[in-house]
């Protein structure tokens, strides 16, 4: 079996050490989806199966899977991994809010940057607290959620896992409503002013 890494947007081949879509080719890779030519066409490129997993390959040939492609946002040309932000926030917030934290970082459309991030969480936290935690850990401002949405409980799949699609819809609907009231940046600036 052979492995290559392709850019998620352009589908051009990248160096194996770069972050991109893990792609496989070989006799043990299936030829396509049964009775689904559209999905097959979207998942294969010149015989390479595009796995929808984002990852890298190290110098010794070990594969490192970072997350599913759907759990990344492209913001200002940069691929931002949702799971990395969730992990950092979970570590910071568990010290002050306890262990039972449910959260989801999702990407929502943004006219200027393509996407922006929203945090859905089952604990009451403010935008300025999230900003403070992430900046203290060295995260870029692009990686800081512009919107924090409190929910008693996050939506779940039938298997009890967080339903990221429904979370994304909730965040997008809230963003549309917020845009009618004021821009997310204005809301965040107002929140920061209150915390100063």
- What pLDDT is recorded for position 9? 80
- pLDDT tier at 36 (50, 70, 90 boundaries)? very high
pLDDT at residue 72 greater than cutoff 50: yes
Same structural domain, 109 and 183? yes
Please state, rounded to an integer, the average pLDDT across all residues of the chain. Answer: 85
Domain count, the chain: 2
Report pTM.
0.71
Percent of the chain predicted with pLDDT > 90: 52
- pLDDT tier at 8 (50, 70, 90 boundaries)? confident
Q: How many CA atoms lie within 13 A of 60 on its CB side?
A: 2
Is 169 among the domain residues? yes
Q: Measuring CA to CA, which residue among 112, 102, 117 is closest to residue 172?
A: 117
Q: Measuring CA to CA, which residue among 22, 19, 17, 21 is closest to residue 3?
A: 22
Q: How far is CA 121 from CA 56, 130, 152, 167, in A?
A: 30, 11, 8, 10
**Residue range 3-27: average pLDDT?**
90
Same structural domain, 80 and 43? no
CATH of the domain at 108: 3.30.300.30
Task: Report pLDDT digits (tens) over 90-128.
Answer: 888 877 766 678 999 999 988 888 889 999 999 888 889
Q: How far is CA 166 from CA 35, 104, 108, 122, in A?
A: 28, 11, 12, 15
Helix (H) or strand (E) holding 105: strand 103-110
pLDDT at residue 74 greater than cutoff 70: yes
Same structural domain, 76 and 56? no
Q: Measuring CA to CA, which residue among 120, 95, 94 is closest to residue 105?
A: 120
Residue 163 phi/psi, 5° resolution? Answer: -90, 95
Is 66 among the domain residues? no
Tell me which residue range forms the domain holding 26: 2-61
pLDDT at residue 75 greater than cutoff 50: yes
Q: Which residues contact 6 (CB under 8 A, 6 or more apart)?
A: 12, 13, 14, 20, 21, 23, 45, 48, 50
- What pLDDT is recorded for position 99? 67
């Amino acid at each position: 079996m052979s492995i290559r890494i392709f850019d998620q947007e352009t589908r051009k081949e990248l160096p194996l050490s770069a972050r991109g879509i893990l792609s496989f080719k070989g006799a043990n890779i299936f030829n396509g989806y049964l009775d689904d030519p559209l999905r097959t066409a979207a998942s294969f490129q010149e015989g390479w199966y595009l796995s929808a997993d984002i990852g890298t390959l190290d110098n010794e040939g070990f594969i490192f899977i970072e997350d599913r492609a759907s759990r990344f946002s492209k913001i200002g040309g940069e691929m931002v991994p949702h799971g990395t932000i969730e992990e950092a926030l979970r570590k910071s917030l568990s010290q002050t809010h306890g262990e039972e934290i449910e959260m989801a970082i999702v990407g929502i459309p943004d006219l200027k940057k393509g996407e922006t991030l929203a945090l859905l969480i089952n604990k009451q936290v403010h935008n300025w607290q999230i900003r403070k935690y992430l900046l203290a850990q060295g995260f870029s401002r692009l990686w800081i959620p512009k919107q924090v949405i409190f929910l008693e409980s996050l939506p779940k799949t039938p298997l009890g896992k967080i339903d990221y699609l429904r979370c994304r819809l909730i965040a997008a609907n809230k963003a549309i409503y917020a845009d009618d009231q004021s821009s997310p940046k204005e809301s965040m600036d107002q929140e920061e002013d209150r915390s100063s």
